[in-house]
Amino acid sequence: MPWWPFSSATGSDSGKTSRLPKTEAPARRTVSWEDSLNRTDWEHYKDPRTWIPTLLLTTTALVSMRIYRSYLRRIPGAVHVQPNFFRRRRLLGKVTSVGDGDNFHLFHTPGGRLAGWGWLRRVPTKKVELRNKTIPIRIAGIDAPECAHFGRPAQPFSTDALAWLTNYVLGRRVRAKIYRRDQYDRIVATVYVRRFFLRRDVGLEMLKAGLATTYEAKSGAEFGGLEQKYKAAEATAKAKKLGIWSGKPEHFESPRAYKTRVNQMIEGQPDNKPKS
């Protein structure tokens, strides 16, 4: 007699454990790689809503990287200027020091104020901070009187040229149209600066002031297509007897002739300077 409530629902199965039949998992079928491809729903990938966003994202990333590398990446020195930049690019930056009457150091500020330079990004001012972070620029097409270097005497009007260039560009933003790298690892460039809301060619203005001559080297001279304009400015300053042209013509010595004479003296060769 079954005891409630421990009895089974059926009296005949009282005391016996009911066993349910076990179901076996179906065997996994091996599918070949070709069959899996054939089963892929390729129509999904043909839907423009699938591939257009991916294409746009990839294109945007590539274009952004190219713009950054070409126009927004800061160039810390002359050795970092890529060869394909020459005669194609202009470098925007701030003049941090002037070393001679025709060269200075530029801190590259790509993008200018639009990229935050001057209000979000600071241009260093201390020599320690600027070390190995500036580009030496050699002004194209002109030759200023030589300052005293390595024990060599200074050329007349060299301090005037240095003072003029310092007053004209030091601490200012300039734009340099670059041509090549010279033997001293300087970047030869035509330099432009804003003065009284007008864009000025620095080399041309030095010629007008009579504080430089047009570059006289037999080879390697760079004018950027401005040679005739430069020579005309030089002739005008010479006619007005400005700066280096103010003395007697027979006493005049160009920067090129001066460097040649001094080099010959150092090498122990005879002085070939014409006698006055």
Which residues are known to be catalytic? 138, 146, 186
Residue 274: φ, ψ to 5°: -60, 135
Angstrom distance (rounded) from CA 227 to CA 233: 10
Reading the block at residue 143, the tokens are 């030759």
Comparing CA positions, the residue from 250, 24, 63, 260 lying closest to residue 143 is 260
B/e letters for 59-84, b = 16+ CB within 10 Å, e = fewer, are eeeeeeeeeeeeeeeebeebeebeee
Comparing CA positions, the residue from 41, 156, 150, 166 lying closest to residue 101 is 166
Strand (E) or helix (H) holding 144: none
- CB–CB of 234/227 below 8 Å? no
Q: Which amino acid is at 161?
A: A
Comparing CA positions, the residue from 123, 132, 135 lying closest to residue 91 is 135
